[in-house]
Amino acid sequence: MATAPRIIATFLLLSVCTFPAASAQRAETNYDESKVPSYTLPDPLIAEDGQVIDTASLWWEKRRPEILELFEREVYGRSPGRPESMEFQVTSVDDQALESTAIRKEVSVLFTGEPDGPKMDVLIYQPAAAEGPVPVFLGLNFFGNHTIRDDPGITLSQQWMRPNRELGIVDNRATEASRGANASRWAVEDILAAGYALATIYCGDLDPDFDDGFQNGVHPLFYRPGQQRPDPDQWGTIAAWAWGLSRAVDYFETDPQLDAERVAVMGHSRLGKTALWAGAVDPRFAIVISNNSGCGGAALSRRRFGETVARINTSFPHWFCENFKKYNDNEDQLPVDQHQLIALIAPRPVYVASASEDRWADPRGEFLAALHAEPVYQLLGKPGLGTDQMPPVNTPVGHTIGYHLREGRHAVESYDWQQYLNFANKHFFGK
């Protein structure tokens, strides 16, 4: 099997000298490619018992479940399924939104079936002119549905928000000033003009983004009697956010105006990590898009470039499951690495995007993870990335795995959306 030697050879080329192994003192953030330690990635096509995975059925029956289990147990934590009593409530519809170019809908997903109980609110814009069900871009947002567009018809979120004066968040709550505050991240017009719906949910509806020992958000809904917090292998906040994305697809399946078989899940940064995990656990996501997702997303953990496992688990102790903390300054003991997260999405199209100034997220590590997912795509009859050379800025590459390095900072820009629309047009419609 050629995969393992090729992986090692690629890393030897990239690794000029070796960093000391885990030391008692936490290493400084490394931004020097020559100081990336040498490492060996777990091979997605060699099973835990050493068996070479050389057929699609061995992948589906043996290796994929094994890798998924490792990510659930050691990285993101196990999530529950769909709540039995969950119900949907359409709370508003405006078929003359955005100067009559769009239908705007708001749908509450009532996790216990109770209108006053825990819920998430989905905002949907769909092209007014569409005939038949439309494909959907779905993504979580950071500061409320009303921030994606300055549209007074969108309900202002009442939920707790991370502090951000610039975006109009005062005392951890949204204000009218936060309407449209993140509009630059959402290419609403372009998405609608290309014939797609856009659906979004505030991530804090599922779990507010701070460490409260998992008392708020959806986690307590699933505690056993007497349970106080998730077990070490149970879901953290990223997994809860991903779970919410799947609940949105549950709704799409009931809405004849939306094509639940053509849902592209997209996320930026922490929500890009979330999009990847959602795509890995839920095969209903037909396309998965990671925008600048970095550590715990598309970037290889073993490179220890920019943000590391120890840093992320310290700054955001609630994002991953408790077991993930075993790998703080101990990346080589991880039974998986992030190329295998991408491989879990195979053979579905996946797009990884980096930004040239976003060194914290390790653009090269994101590219390499996409590259080393490719053997699984090939095994399943898909071309994968199609190049082992990281492209220059603003030069999208790839086939079933797409990649670009946008010039500029950590953000979602219209350039990124243009590539995602091209990618979805190609894979959904052969355009």
Binding site for ligand GTR (CB under 6 A): 269-270, 294-295, 307, 312, 315
First CA to last CA distance, the chain: 35
Which two three-digit tokens encode residue 250? 């549950």
* Percent of residues in the chain assigned helix, strand, coil, to nearest 5: 35, 20, 45
* Shortest reach from residue 315's CB to ligand GTR, in Å: 6
Which two three-digit tokens encode residue 273? 């990590």
* Shortest reach from residue 307's CB to ligand GTR, in Å: 5
| 119-127 and 197-202 strand pairing | antiparallel
Angle separating helix axes 64-71 and 270-281, nearest 10 degrees = 140
Cβ proximity of 329 and 304 under 8 Å: no
By CB neighbour count within 10 A (0-12 exposed, 13-18 middle, 19+ buried), where does 254 fall? Answer: exposed
- DSSP for 209-268 reads SS-SSS-SSSGGGGPPTT--S--TTB--HHHHHHHHHHHHHHHHTT-TTEEEEEEEEEEE
By CB neighbour count within 10 A (0-12 exposed, 13-18 middle, 19+ buried), where does 21 fall? Answer: exposed
By CB neighbour count within 10 A (0-12 exposed, 13-18 middle, 19+ buried), where does 80 fall? Answer: middle
* Shortest reach from residue 341's CB to ligand GTR, in Å: 15
Tell me 310's DSSP state.
H
Which two three-digit tokens encode residue 232? 């070490």
Determine which helix (DSSP H) or strand (DSSP E) holds 240, and give its type and residue range. Answer: helix 237-252
**In angstroms, how far is CA 133 from the centroid of its own chain?**
25
Q: Pick the closer one to ligand GTR by CB: 270 or 348.
A: 270
Cβ proximity of 386 and 369 under 8 Å: no
Q: Assign 317 to helix, strand or coil.
A: coil
Determine which helix (DSSP H) or strand (DSSP E) holds 363, and give its type and residue range. Answer: helix 363-379
Q: Assign 1 to helix, strand or coil.
A: coil
What is the rounded distance in angstroms from the CA atom of residue 11 to the CA atom of residue 29?
20
Cβ proximity of 188 and 125 under 8 Å: yes
Q: Assign 155 to helix, strand or coil.
A: coil
Angle separating helix axes 270-281 and 237-252, nearest 10 degrees = 60
Which two three-digit tokens encode residue 37? 């330690």
What is the rounded distance in angstroms from the CA atom of residue 83 to the CA atom of residue 18?
49
* Shortest reach from residue 366's CB to ligand GTR, in Å: 12
Which sequence positions are flagged as catalytic?
269, 410
Which two three-digit tokens encode residue 392? 């220059």
* Shortest reach from residue 236's CB to ligand GTR, in Å: 13
